[in-house]
């Protein structure tokens, strides 16, 4: 069996988180935050379950990571997310000064890391985010597609 790269290992955990969201009836989006080679925070979308738009996977994970590090700045962290972040989460990532985000698949209808807007590379903001996508892309995309397929059948 092919050995997984670190990026794939972390993304696999983000996918595991996304599946927890699916179990509670939320759109399957998952996220982990890595610091010093370790996953320090995990999050999954709980928007419907918690009835708040503030429960996106990324925000849940940012909150936990800040608690663990005792700092709102997450300057030495890398975030792994299954789907390109929305404007709110991309904004929070910039605010938390996360230097690097690795993403599974893009979200052409709502993504703000390059699809609709690119909040990670706005010249006049002083913080820029290094953004990569395409890690375990097929799994991430298929997870979303099958969720919406099942939803349409209901
Ligand atoms: Zn979001």
Segment 16-41 mean pLDDT: 98
Please tell me what DSSP assigns to residue 4: P
For residue 116, is pLDDT > 80? yes
Selected catalytic residue, list 8, 22, 58, 137 = 58
Segment 35-61 mean pLDDT: 98
| Interval 121-131: pLDDT, tens | 999 999 999 99
| 76 annotated active-site | no
Determine the distance separating the centroid of ligand 1 and the alpha carbon of 3, expressed in angstroms.
31
Determine the distance separating the centroid of ligand 1 and the alpha carbon of 85, expressed in angstroms.
5
Segment 32-57 mean pLDDT: 98
Three-state DSSP string of 24-56: CCCCCCEEEEEECCEEEEEEECCHHHHCCHHHC
Rounded Cα gap, residues 41 and 108, in angstroms = 27
């Amino acid at each position: 069996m092919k050995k997984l790269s670190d990026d794939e290992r972390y993304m696999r955990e983000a996918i595991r988180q996304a599946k927890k969201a699916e179990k509670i009836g939320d759109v399957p989006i998952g996220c982990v935050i890595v610091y010093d080679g370790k996953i320090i925070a995990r999050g999954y979308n709980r928007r419907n379950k918690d009835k708040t738009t503030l429960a996106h996977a990324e925000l849940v994970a940012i909150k936990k990571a800040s608690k663990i590090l005792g700092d709102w700045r997450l300057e030495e962290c890398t975030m792994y997310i299954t789907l390109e972040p929305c404007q709110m989460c991309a904004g929070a990532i910039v605010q938390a000064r996360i230097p690097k985000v690795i993403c599974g698949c893009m979200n052409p209808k709502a993504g703000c890391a390059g699809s609709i807007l690119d909040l990670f590379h706005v010249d006049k903001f002083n913080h820029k985010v290094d953004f990569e996508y395409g890690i375990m892309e097929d799994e991430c995309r298929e997870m979303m597609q099958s969720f919406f397929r099942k939803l349409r059948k209901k």
